[in-house]
Structure 1
C-alpha cells in the first residue's frame, strides 16, 4: 500500500513492514513475521521492482515479530541486516526477559495471536548475522537512514529517520493501537522491558521535521512528531 511516493506499507495495523523506495534501490524497515514475505513479493510486483533492489534491512529492534523473514533475505540474497547494538543478541535468537503483565482484553489479544499464527508466528528463524548500529549512524542505504537510539522497549531499540521521505519509524518505542487492549492513539507499547526509559527516549522525537511517524503496530501517524509526543504524554497520565 502506498503511503507516499517513497513510502510503501505491507501488513496492517497489527503488524506492519515498510519500504523506502528510491531510484537507487529499496530499504526495508522491519520484516514482520515469516508470512509477510509473500506480501512483500506482491508489493514489489505491484511497483515493478525485483527483490534484488532491496539493499538493506533495518530492524527497529530484535523481537521476533520484527525479524520475521530477515534471515531468508540475508541467506538467499546476501542482503545486510542492521539492528541496534543492544539488540544484536536478541535478533540472533536470545530470549528476551519475561514480558510485564500489561492490561489485556480478550478480543484484541485473540485477534493479534490469530493473525500471528496465520503469518507463521510459530516458526521464527533468528538472524544468523547482523550489523550493529549506534545512535547517530547514517546508513549507506537508499534514503540514507539516520539512526536514533530509543532504548526502553528493548535495550537496542532504535528509531529510523529517513529525511528525504519525511518519515521516522519508531518500532515499538510507542504504539498507536495496543495489540492487547485495542485502544487507539499514541500510547506506551505493551511488552516493554523498561517503560520509564522508553518514555524518556520518546522525547528524542521532539522537534523532528517529519510528516509521518510510523510505529510497528497501529496506524501511521501524520500529525507531526511534536503532536505525537504530546498525545503520548496525555495517554501516560490516564
Structure 2
C-alpha cells in the first residue's frame, strides 16, 4: 500500500513493515512475520521491482514480529540486516526478559494472535548475521536512513529517520493501536522491557522535520512530532484500561 511517493506499507494496523523506494534501490524497515514475505513479493510486483533491488534491511529492534522474513532475504540474496547493537543477540534468538503484565481485552488479544498465526508467527527464523548500528549512524542505503537510539522497549531499540520520505519509523517505542486492548492513538506499547526508559526516549523525536511517525503496530501518525509527543503524554496520564 502506498502511504506517500516512495513510501510503501506491508501488513496492517496490527503488524506492519515498510519499504523506502529509491531510484538506486529499496530499503526495508522491519520485516514483520514470515508470512509477510508473500505480501512483500506482491507489493514489489506492483512496483515492477525485483527482490534484488532491496539493498538493506533496518530493524527497529529484535523482537520476533519485526525480524520475520529478514533471515530469508539475508540468506538467499545476501541482503545486509542492520540493528541497534544491544539488540543483536535478541535478533539472533536470545530470549528477551519477562515484562510486566499489560492490560488486555479478550477480543483484541484474540484478533492480534489470530493474525500473527496466519502470518506464521511461530515460524520466525532468528538471524544468523547482523550488522550492529549505533546512535547517529547514517546507513549506506536508499533513502540515507539515520539511526536514533531509543532504548526502552528493548535495549537496542532505534528510530529510523528518513528525511527522503519525511518519515521516522519508531518500531515499538510507542504504538498507535495497542494490540492487547485495541485502544487507538499514540500511547506506550505493550511487552516493553523498561517503560520509564521508553518514555524518556520519546523526547528524542522532538524537533524532527517529518510528516509521518510510523510505528510497527497501529496506524501511521500523520503530523509533526510535537503533536505526537503531546498525545503520547496525555495517554500516559490516563488510568490503564481494564
- The verdict on a shared fold, with TM-score over 0.5 as the criterion, is yes
Please list the CA deviations of residues 153-189 of structure 1 after superposition, one character each: whole Å capped at 9, or x if unmatched: 0000000000111000000000000000000000000
> Aligned residue for 1:177?
177
Q: CA deviation at 1:224?
A: 1.0
Q: CA deviation at 1:99?
A: 2.6
> Aligned residue for 1:45?
45
Q: CA deviation at 1:42?
A: 0.1
TM-score (norm 1): 0.99
> Aligned residue for 1:59?
59
- Where 1:176 maps in the other structure, the secondary structure is strand
Give matches, 1:150-165, under 5 Å. Answer: 150-165=150-165
**Is 2:223 aligned against 1:223?**
yes
Structure 1 unmatched ranges of 5 or more:
none
4+ runs deviating over 6 angstroms: none
Please list the CA deviations of residues 97-154 of structure 1 after superposition, one character each: whole Å capped at 9, or x if unmatched: 1132000000000000000000001111000000000000000000000000000000
> Aligned residue for 1:23?
23
**Is 2:13 aligned against 1:13?**
yes
Please list the CA deviations of residues 199-238 of structure 1 after superposition, one character each: whole Å capped at 9, or x if unmatched: 0000000111000000000000002111101100111111
TM-score (norm 2): 0.98
> Residues of 2 paired with 1:209 and 1:119: CA distance?
34
Aligned CA RMSD, in angstroms, stands at 0.4
Structure 2 unmatched ranges of 5 or more:
none
> Aligned residue for 2:107?
107
Pairs aligned (count): 238
> Aligned residue for 2:122?
122
Q: CA deviation at 1:6?
A: 1.0
> Residues of 1 paired with 2:230 and 2:45: CA distance?
39
> Aligned residue for 2:203?
203
> Residues of 2 paired with 1:9 and 1:121: CA distance?
19
> Residues of 1 paired with 2:197 and 2:166: CA distance?
26
